[in-house]
Amino acid sequence: MKQRAFLLSPAHCGGIRAGMLLRPQASFDLATRVRQPEGAELGEVFAFLSGLYFRGKLAYARHFAGPPVLGEGLENVSKDAARGILVITTNAGLVPPDSKVTRQTLLSFGQTDINGAEARYRVPLLRDARLLDALLGPEGEVVLLGSVASAKYVEALTEVFGERLLFPSDFVGRGDMSRGGLMLRCVAAHQELPYLPVLGATLRGKRPPKLAPRKRRADAPK
């Protein structure tokens, strides 16, 4: 069985919601925890910053990732890292979503552009991608849950993984919110999306029809 890892594109750390979270006077629970030395989980923070899109990516990756395949038997390997679930960051390479980040970490993320010409982004990403490639082996696959229509992730990742870098073909033509909603529906239905290699694929296309409204559960609160 081929080993597979999921790479999640990051949330924007310089927008309005980031300002809310990082405001020193913010008193809501997540902002309070981010200011503490132990920090809060990266996945929880990015889900707050990005909303439906990152929440969908994280839920999808955790639902469809296989059993632990990376770092088995090693101490201090997080659950997400062991299952090959990693988040692309602006200047720290690939980071497991269950790792802890602080206010200073997020401020640092917000100060670096995701740009192939930016060494602070590209060097750590290539370093960790090569480590992941060695762990997965020559038959291992990587699924990018993020934009493939621009070079900001694809260029560096295809340099390492080549045709083994895959993406959900249903992403083509969809905006971020539509992708997030689609992935949450896939989790609820236990139905994994089909994947295609990024190299050679049609990465831009006609916008598909809007997702049908999710059916309300009979026991859901009104």
Q: Is residue 21 part of a domain?
A: no
Q: Is residue 19 part of a domain?
A: no
**pLDDT score, position 157:** 96
pLDDT category of residue 166 using cuts at 50, 70 and 90: very high
What are the tokens at 87? 């988040």
Q: Is residue 66 part of a domain?
A: yes
Domains identified in the chain, total number: 1
User: What percentage of the chain reaches a pLDDT higher than 90?
Assistant: 68
Distances 109 to 15, 23, 32, 89, 189 between C-alpha atoms, Å: 12, 16, 19, 7, 34
Q: Is residue 125 part of a domain?
A: yes
**pLDDT score, position 212:** 58
**pLDDT score, position 70:** 66
User: What is the domain range of residue 58?
Assistant: 4-11+50-70+81-97+115-197
Q: Is residue 122 part of a domain?
A: yes
Specify the pairing of strand 4-8 against strand 85-88.
parallel
